[in-house]
Copies of this chain bind each other. A is one copy, B any other.
Amino acid sequence: MDFKFTEEQEKFRKEVRDFLEAEIKAGTFQPSCDAWIQGYSPEFTKKVSKKGWIGLTWPKEYGGQGRSHIDRLILTEEMLRYGAPAACHWFADRQIGGGILRYGSEEQKRTILPKIMAGEAYVGLGLSEPEAGSDLASLRTKATESGDYYIIDGQKMWTSCGVFMNHIYMVARTDPNLATPKHRGISEFIFETSLPGITITPTIDITGSTAWAEVFFDGVKIPKTAMIGEKNRGFYQVVNQLDYERAGLERLMGNYPLFDAIIKFVKETKWGNNYISKDPLVRQKLAQLRTEFEIGRLLTYRVVMVMEEGKAPNVEAAMAKQYSTGFEQHLASLSMEILGEYGQLMAESKYAPILGMAPHSFLGSKGYSLQAGSTEVLRGVIATRGLGLPA
Contacts and interface: CB of A to CB of B under 8 A. Distances in A.
Grouping DSSP codes into helix (H, G, I), strand (E, B) and loop, the A interface class, with mixed when no group exceeds half, is helix
Interface string A277-302: 00011001000000000000000000
Nearest to A280: B280
Contacts of A284: 281
A271 to B, nearest CB: 15
A281 B280 CA distance: 7
Nearest to A279: B280
Contacts of A281: 280-281, 284
Interface in A71-86: none
A281 B282 CA distance: 11
A186 B315 CA distance: 44
A284 B258 CA distance: 26
A284 B280 CA distance: 11
Contacts of A280: 280-281
A280 B281 CA distance: 7
Interface string A115-150: 000000000000000000000000000000000000
A281 B288 CA distance: 14
A336 to B, nearest CB: 18
A284 B284 CA distance: 12
Nearest to A284: B281
A280 B284 CA distance: 11
A166 to B, nearest CB: 44
A31 to B, nearest CB: 33
Interface in A256-282: 280-281
A339 B383 CA distance: 36
A151 to B, nearest CB: 38
A295 B184 CA distance: 50
A383 to B, nearest CB: 15
A281 B281 CA distance: 7
A281 B287 CA distance: 14
A287 to B, nearest CB: 12
A156 B281 CA distance: 50
A369 to B, nearest CB: 20
A72 to B, nearest CB: 41
A127 to B, nearest CB: 27
Interface string A149-166: 000000000000000000
A281 B283 CA distance: 11
A115 to B, nearest CB: 49
A88 to B, nearest CB: 43
A156 to B, nearest CB: 29
A323 to B, nearest CB: 22
A281 B284 CA distance: 9
A306 B258 CA distance: 48
A284 B281 CA distance: 9
4 contacts: A280-B280, A280-B281, A281-B281, A281-B284
Closest 4 pairs between A and B when the two form their complex, measured CB to CB:
A280-B280, A280-B281, A281-B284, A281-B281
